[in-house]
Amino acid sequence: MLFLKDKKSRYFNFILLILVIVFLKICFFKGSKQPNIILITIDGLRADHLSCYGYGRLTTPNVDKLAKDGVIFLQAIAPSTETAYSIPAMITSTYSHYNGIDQWRDTLINPSARTLSEMLLNNGYYAAFFSNGYPLGLIKGIDREMKDFMVDENISAEKLTSISMDWLKLNQNRKFFLWIHYFDTHSPYSPPPPYNTLFIKDELDINDKNIPIASFDKDWAGFDIIPYSVARNNITSVNYYISQYDGAIRFTDEQIGVLLDKLRELKLYENTIIVITADHGENLGEHNRYFQHGGMPFDTLLHVPLIFKYESAISKNKKIKTQVSSAGIVPTLLDMLKIKRSGDIDEKSFLGLAQDKIENYNPYVFSKCAASIYSIRTEKYKLIWLVNSDKYSLYDLHNDKDELYDVKDIKKEEFDFLRNKLRKWFIRNRSSISPKMPPFDKDTIDKLRSLGYL
């Protein structure tokens, strides 16, 4: 009997031990699960039109709230003024010399330049990309290792958010990387009611001016002209179109709010890294360019919002003034996830900045604009090089924020130094072997032109 009792007891202890192990495993697994990632890119969104960047209109109440839960980079610079260059550089953290994108027609990201979703695949991430931006569908390669991929230019931010929320619900138990690219802030700005009247005749509606509307045949990117594709009802008021741009920002922000509420409802908010940025900015009259993003790489086009939220790695409500490139988002994410980065990444992680571990980050940010305009930016100066005409202009960003006065003849030492650096970077870029794609068909060219490209 004693033997049987001991046997029973041993059996009981054994079962108990198994249960404890299973329980501990569940707890350990939950606690150590790598975070999910949500990357939100908003097309053509310049930093100074977000209320959390000091804009006078309340354009981004939801993004502002998110920024308070994370870190806001006050001086984030895009790798380009155009979607076709900016997105591949951002998502691979490499420039043209490696990702192969040198002109609009080279819209295949070089297979050897790995995208974020490819880098995350080996670490068990399930990735998806959703957008309502037509040009995003033309950048071949961003769909690599995306389990779900959709670009539909016929839907608004509202529908895009709804699709993203359905996907989140379906995949909430997976470790996921969800990338959403909103296009509603891109011209022609057409926010739905009530956002189309939200910023009309308010206290910022001052010093208005009227300028002519371009005909379709005229140069859309001309000076002092409203692009044909942006104009409506023969309205020539500049402030009207700015109110529509701001209304589109608020509309997109409301949708981001809906998405973040869903994340909270699904109890995914805390264990998800959320990144918000833009591919480039927008000209709203600076340098006599209106409602487009062509021309020179001034800060109206390069200065973008950048917000990171992940409380386990970075403290809340933090503002960082140091200049960073948005091409550094990928190494920063890899750093947060403790994933070893491969050698083919150009930019450095700026996680150390967010954690107060480093003060000096990368002091030079390179950007590319169209096929033959390049820039190098420090926190104090920006040098722009028009390669075809071999012309340079140097701007003192501390004393001339609007970049109006070329100081290359006054600041000769700075000019020589930055010119040498930019030329070296350019030569490296030119050594690329771009995977050429067949030329666009007429429909694609017309569509891109109507959106202000080509």
Query: How far from the centroid of its chain's Cα atoms is residue 148's Cα?
Result: 20
Closest distance of CB 268 from Zn ion, Å: 28
Instruction: Report if residue 83 touches Zn ion, rule: CB under 5 A.
Output: yes
Residue 234: CB minimum distance to Zn ion, A: 27
Nearer to Zn ion, 272 or 292 (CB): 292
- Taking the least distance from each CB to Zn ion, the nearer of 397 and 448 is 448
Query: Which residues contact residue 375 at a Cβ distance below 8 angstroms, ignoring those fewer than 6 apart?
Result: 297, 302, 366, 367, 368, 369, 382, 383, 384, 385, 422
Strand-pair partners of 108: 140
Classify strands 391-396 and 381-386 as parallel, antiparallel or unpaired. antiparallel
Number of residues that bind Zn ion (CB under 5 A): 3
Dihedral in degrees, nearest 10, Cα atoms 96, 102, 106, 111: -10
* C-alpha dist (Å) from residue 321 to 72, 77, 208, 310, 311: 9, 12, 32, 19, 20
Please report whether residue 282 would count as binding Zn ion according to CB under 5 A. no
CB nearer Zn ion, residue 94 or residue 187: 187
C-beta closer to Zn ion: residue 40 or 121: 40
Query: Judged by CB under 5 A, does residue 403 bind Zn ion?
Result: no
* Region near Zn ion per CB under 5 A, out of 66-74, 75-83, 215-223, 228-236: 75-83
Distance CA 328, CA 162 (A): 29
Question: 43 or 299, CB closer to Zn ion?
Answer: 43
Rounded CA separation 67/64 (Å): 5
Tokens matching residue 407: 């100081």
Q: Which residue's C-beta sits nearest to Zn ion?
A: 83
Least distance in angstroms from the C-beta of 267 to Zn ion: 33
- If one asks whether residue 184 binds Zn ion (CB under 5 A), the answer comes out as no
254 lies in the binding site for Zn ion (CB under 5 A): no
In the bound state with Zn ion, the residue whose beta carbon lies nearer, of 43 and 118, is: 43
Q: By CB under 5 A, is residue 43 in contact with Zn ion?
A: yes
Binding test (CB under 5 A) with Zn ion, winner from 69, 279, 299, 403:
279
Name the one range near Zn ion by CB under 5 A: 76-84, 248-256, 388-396, 421-429: 76-84
Helices 157-170 and 238-265, packing angle to 10 deg: 10
Binding interface with Zn ion (CB under 5 A): 43, 83, 279
